[in-house]
């Protein structure tokens, strides 16, 4: 998270925290009690000027509302800015829900421009149909790409003529949140979605799905990492040797933390931005970050992942240098 924030040049540090549990097996009441207990345990860490949590796997606006409420109770006043990803009515930002997927779209389009891939002739496969994958699919489809494959825990679904993402979302939402038995596409083995002959591959599920056992089989020209750490270190070298371009996770999925930052700014200002303003500013930040990383990769003849870390580490190192110490 530190490097991700540095890449997109927002004034946050970063960490990850959570609870080892399976929310799918828990009742809403159990999840609420867990969130409130977690908030109390982290009370000395959290704060609008200290550590500002945001939703990740297994959590969403509902859980962030509970976190904000529990923190606010201990302070005797409402503290909206202690957490981001909240419901709109509680100080959440317009555009936050789709922000990570939108950032994937923006960086994918920027990379396609560099690689001379025409979006109107391009095909795309998206692993993971949760918040990030679904929004990436929707937004890439809007910009002309043919999404030929999607997947979730129930398996992968392929249609060479393209999948109507709107229909797929409606089916999933009406089917207890799963694509199981989706009839508009052929069901294939889940891992096979990664090796389909497509122009753009978006792994937006979990970590290490691209590894040394399947990296040689990947046929995509461009990989845009919607998930955190979807490519193992061993696979990275194989992908690079194959000449496949990769927009790394700390750049590609930084749209979420960018709009989280916008939400925090709005809470501190006490003024809500329009969705248009949020999208315009986040798109500009993501595009500028991509251009900076791409320029560095060309200048030093390194993959974009290395270039992203070079940009991020250089920024953090400079802050330590200027702050000094004794």
Coil, helix or strand for 227?
A: coil
User: What per-residue confidence (pLDDT) applies to 235?
Assistant: 95
- Which residue of the set 4, 16, 187, 216 is catalytic? 16
pLDDT at 58: 87
108 close to 202: Cβ distance less than 8 angstroms? yes
Q: What pLDDT digit, counting tens, does each position of 82-133 carry?
A: 999 999 999 999 999 999 999 999 999 999 999 999 999 999 999 999 999 9
Domain ranges of the chain: 1-18+96-320
Each residue of 3-16: b (16+ CB within 10 Å) or e?
bbbbbbebebeeee
Q: What is the C-alpha to C-alpha distance for residues 169 and 219, in angstroms, rounded to an integer?
A: 26
**Is position 16 annotated as part of the catalytic site?**
yes
- pLDDT tens by residue, 120-154: 999 999 999 999 999 999 999 999 999 999 999 99
At residue 166 the predicted structure's pLDDT band, cuts being 50, 70 and 90, is very high
Per residue in 7-27, pLDDT (tens digit) is: 999 998 888 889 999 998 999
Q: Is 3.10.350.10 the CATH classification of the domain at 1-18+96-320?
A: no
Mean of the pLDDT values across residues 56-78? 95
Taking residues 258-286, what's their average pLDDT? 97
Chain segment 37-56, per-residue pLDDT in tens = 999 999 999 999 999 999 88
pTM: 0.92
Between 261 and 55, the more confident residue is 261
Q: Is 230 within 8 Å of 210 (Cβ atoms)? A: yes
pLDDT in tens, 198-207: 999 999 998 9
What's the pLDDT score for residue 15?
85
Share of the chain above pLDDT 90, in %: 94
**H or E stretch including 200?**
strand 200-203
- Would you state the pLDDT for residue 281? 97
């Amino acid at each position: 998270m530190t490097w991700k924030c540095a890449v997109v040049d927002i004034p946050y540090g970063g960490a990850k925290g959570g609870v080892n549990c399976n929310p799918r097996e828990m009742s809403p009441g159990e999840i609420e009690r867990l969130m409130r207990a977690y908030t109390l345990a982290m009370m000395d860490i959290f704060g609008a000027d200290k550590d500002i949590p945001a939703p990740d796997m297994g959590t969403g606006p509902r859980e962030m509302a509970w976190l904000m409420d529990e923190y606010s109770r201990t302070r005797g006043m409402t503290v909206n800015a202690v957490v981001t990803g909240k419901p709109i009515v509680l100080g959440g930002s317009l555009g936050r829900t789709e922000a990570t997927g939108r950032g994937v779209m923006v960086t994918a389009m920027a990379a396609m421009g560099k690689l001379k891939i025409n979006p109107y002739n391009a095909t795309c496969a998206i692993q993971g149909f949760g918040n990030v994958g679904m929004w990436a699919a929707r937004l890439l489809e809007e910009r002309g790409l043919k999404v030929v494959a999607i997947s979730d825990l129930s398996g992968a679904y392929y249609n060479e003529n393209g999948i109507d993402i709107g229909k797929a979302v409606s089916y999933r939402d009406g089917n207890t949140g799963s694509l199981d038995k989706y009839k508009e596409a052929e069901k294939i083995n889940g891992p096979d979605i990664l090796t389909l002959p497509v122009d753009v591959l978006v792994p937006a599920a979990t970590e290490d799905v691209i590894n040394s056992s399947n990296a040689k089989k990947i046929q995509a020209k461009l990989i845009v990492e919607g998930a955190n750490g979807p490519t193992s270190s061993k696979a990275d070298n194989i992908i690079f040797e194959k000449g496949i371009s990769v927009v790394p996770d700390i750049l590609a999925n930084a749209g979420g933390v960018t709009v989280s930052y916008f939400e925090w700014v709005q809470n501190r200002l006490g003024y809500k931005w329009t969705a248009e303003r949020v999208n315009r500013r986040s798109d500009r930040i993501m595009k500028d970050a991509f251009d900076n990383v791409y320029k560095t990769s060309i200048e030093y003849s390194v993959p974009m992942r290395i270039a992203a870390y070079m940009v991020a580490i250089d920024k953090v190192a400079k802050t330590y240098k200027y702050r000094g110490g004794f």
